[in-house]
Structure 1
Amino acid sequence: MYFASDNSSPAHPSVMEALARANQGYMGSYGADPIMDEVRDRIREIFEAPEAAVYLVCSGTTANVLSLGTFCPPWGAIYCHRDAHIEVDECGGPEFYTGGAKLVLIDGTDAKMDPGALRAAIGRRTIGDVHHVQPGMVSVTNVTEMGAVYSATEVAAINAVAEDHHLPVHMDGARFANALVASGATPAEMTWRAGVDVLSFGGTKNGLMAVEAVVIFDPAKAWEFELRRKRGGHLFSKHRYLSAQMQAYLADDLWLSMARASNGTAGRLAQGLAALPGASLVNSVDANMIFAKLTRAQHKAAFAAGAKYYLTEPGAGLDEGPDDEPLTCRLVTSWCTSDADVDGFLAACKS
């Protein structure tokens, strides 16, 4: 009953098999392996973007900060939701890799940026005034840090504001597959057709060992990204081990199958929690992340049964306070979460 994070799940067996195959003999280094050629072609096919530049890196933070650094100057403002991963979970990496760009935080329900609030924030900066950072770019997170999913139409609405100010758009897609299967959009509809210029295409949270893709829909930025990746220490010598993971991920749409599995068990868990006396959902469950309130007694029972997950309220503890006090938690399912895990968790809470 492990609901702490999809980061904690194992790699899919197909990924491990692909790594073993890639471990035979010699291959070109630094991305010159034939597996990478296949991966690049496949991603271009999936996104209906034959000119897209495709690169692999080892982590979501790396994908995000190199993308931001490539598209935003040091004197620029990066507009993102105040709960965006680049704001709350990347330790100043965006500022570091951009050389000092400023994150400007936008409000919106369930960590989804409100287009009107974005427009107002951009308008508060005097363009051309040397005393202000200048509008630089926009970054959206899909799935958001509160488990919500932007539809392709909502992404396009954000882009409409960005386009009015000639700003590029980055999408942090650490859970991009989960967002895609939840929305029913195609990869192209969710990205470049909605105005996204660069995508961090996640894999680690969805069954890979350690690899993410950066998909740059404007190939004019490709060379700068390559230089930044090398200068930042993120160009792998034995690149084939990144390529092999992504090759397995994309084969037979495994990436979508795993996302459907994790979204499905999250839906099953959310349905069970909604029917559980004393429990309630904090917001809608769009993908594989749930925020819910359980009583302190229910949390105690779940942890005693071996469940792993996080309480989200600062200072919330299980040892002090009334048993009927509701405490908010975050539950995240992964590609290998089973129905038995869900049923066991709900049974423990009922006890």
Structure 2
Amino acid sequence: MFFASDNSGPVHPRIMEALMEANQGHAMAYGADALMDEVRARIRDIFEAPEAAVYLVATGTAANALALATLAQPWQTVFCSPVAHIHEDECNAPEFYTGGAKLTLVGDTDRISAEALRAAIEAEETRGVHGPQRGPVSLTSVTERGTVYGLDELRAVTAVARDYGLPVHLDGARFANALAALDCSPAEMTWKAGIDAVSFGGTKNGCMGVEAVIFFDPAHAWEFELRRKRGAHLFSKHRYLSAQMAGYLRDGLWLDMARQANANCARLVAGLRAAGMEFLHDPQANMAFPILPLRTHRRLHEAGAAYHLWNGTLDGDDPDQPIAARLVCDWSISSDEIDCFLNLLRA
């Protein structure tokens, strides 16, 4: 009953097999391996973007920070949601890698609206040389609250960014889960919707530790390569990143795992709703925030359930205190584990 994070799940056996295969003999270093050629070709095919520049790093923070550093100047600001991972969970890495570009928080929800973005953009570049200049927009889907931008929402936001000549980055740590929820093509969710660069996640969806950075305009390629090397994120034994991503992409494994994770969450959410639980946010992919009484949280934790409390602790005095949980499903959670959790909840 492990719902703490999709970072905590096992590596898919097929990805482990790809790593074992890559571990035979010698291969060229620093991304010159044959597996990286395969990865590059597969991603370009999947995204219908034959000219896209494709790179690998080991962490989502590196993917986001280096991508934004490539799109932003140090005197600019990056527009993002107030709960964006780049704001709340990356220890100022974007500011560090951009050389000091700030973050401007847009709106008060996890999904940026076109109207809120326009207002935030208009509020910058109002003090000449004394204030930050307008920079890239960074969106997240699946968001940190488990919701997904619809295609119309993406198009509306990117249209505003284009009005001001600003590039748009998509933090896709859970890109596959968002795609599975939308049931569209990767191209429709990215460059066809106005996205310029994507952090394409693998770690949360069955890989050991690999993320792709995709620029649909290859003019950014050389700068990103320099920033990745300078930032100490270019692996010498790069084939082990390539092998993970190659195994991830072969035969649609990446999307199969995301669909399974979303289906696991849907099963969990259905059981929670049947038990009368309400949610902080509408669950749309593989993450849910149900509100449970403190007494129920205690019982679940005592029985071995692993998940995070969102707005409280187990140490409260009122057993009826409503506290939200953050429940995340990955591809490997079994139906038996979900049903066991629900049975304990209803006990």
Common fold by TM > 0.5: yes
Whether the 8 Å CA contact 1:270–1:281 is kept in 2: the answer is no
1:326 aligns with 2:328: no
Structure 1 position 226 matched with structure 2 position 225: yes
Amino acid at match of 1:226: E
1:21, 1:125 → 2: CA distance? Answer: 51
**1:149 and 1:179 in contact (8 A); partners too:** yes
Cα distance in 1, alignment partners of residues 74 and 224 from structure 2: 15
Q: Deviations over 1:70-116 (max 9, x none)?
A: 0000000100000000000000000000000010001254x001111
Which residue in 1 is equivalent to 2:293? 295
Distance 1:127 1:322, change over 3 A: closer
Query: 1:127, CA displacement in angstroms?
Result: 5.5
Q: Structure 2 unaligned segments of length 5 or more: list them.
A: none
Q: What SS is found at the alignment partner of 1:303?
A: helix
Moved more, 23-32 or 295-304: 295-304
1:293 Cα deviation after fit = 0.4
- Per-residue deviation, 1:329: 1.0
Range 145-154 or range 231-240, more displaced: 145-154
SS of 1:27's partner is coil
- 2:179 paired with 1:190: no
Q: Give unmatched runs, 5+ long, in structure 1.
A: none
Give the 3-state SS of the residue equivalent to 2:283 in structure 1. coil
For residues 283 and 137 of structure 1, what CA distance do their matches in structure 2 show? Answer: 27
- 150-159 vs 329-338, which deviates more? 150-159
Deviation at 1:317?
Answer: 2.2
State the alpha-carbon separation in 2 of the partners of residues 128 and 45 from structure 1.
Answer: 45
What residue in structure 2 maps to residue 99 of structure 1?
99
TM-score scaled by length of structure 2? 0.98
Deviations along 1:322-342, one digit per CA (max 9) or x if unpaired, are 222211110000010111111
The alpha carbon displacement at 1:210 in A equals 0.4
RMSD in angstroms over aligned alpha carbons?
1.0
Instruction: Output the amino acid matched with 2:341.
Output: F
Partner of 2:32: 32
Letter of the aligned partner of 1:184 in structure 2?
A: D
**2:113–2:153 CA contact under 8 A, matched in 1:** no
Identical pairs, percent: 57
Query: Is the Cα–Cα contact under 8 Å of residues 128 and 134 in structure 1 kept in the other structure?
Result: no
In 1, Cα distance between the equivalents of 2:152 and 2:232?
37
**Per-residue deviation, residues 15-37 of structure 1 (Å, max 9, x unmatched):** 11100000000110000100110
- In the other structure, the counterpart of 1:83 is 83
- Which one-letter code corresponds to 2:187 in the other structure? A
CA distance in 2 between partners of 1:42 and 1:319 (Å):
50
CA contact (8 A) 2:294 2:321 kept: yes
Provide the rounded CA distance (Å) in 2 between the counterparts of 1:47 and 1:128.
40
| 2:278 aligned partner | 280
The amino acid across from 2:344 in the alignment is A
Determine the structure 1 residue equivalent to 2:345. 349
Letter in 1 for 2:29: S
Conservation of the 8 A alpha-carbon contact between 2:177 and 2:285 = yes
Which stretch has the larger CA shift, 119-128 or 170-179?
119-128
SS in 2 for 1:7: coil
Matched, 1:264 2:260: no
TM-score using structure 1 length:
0.97
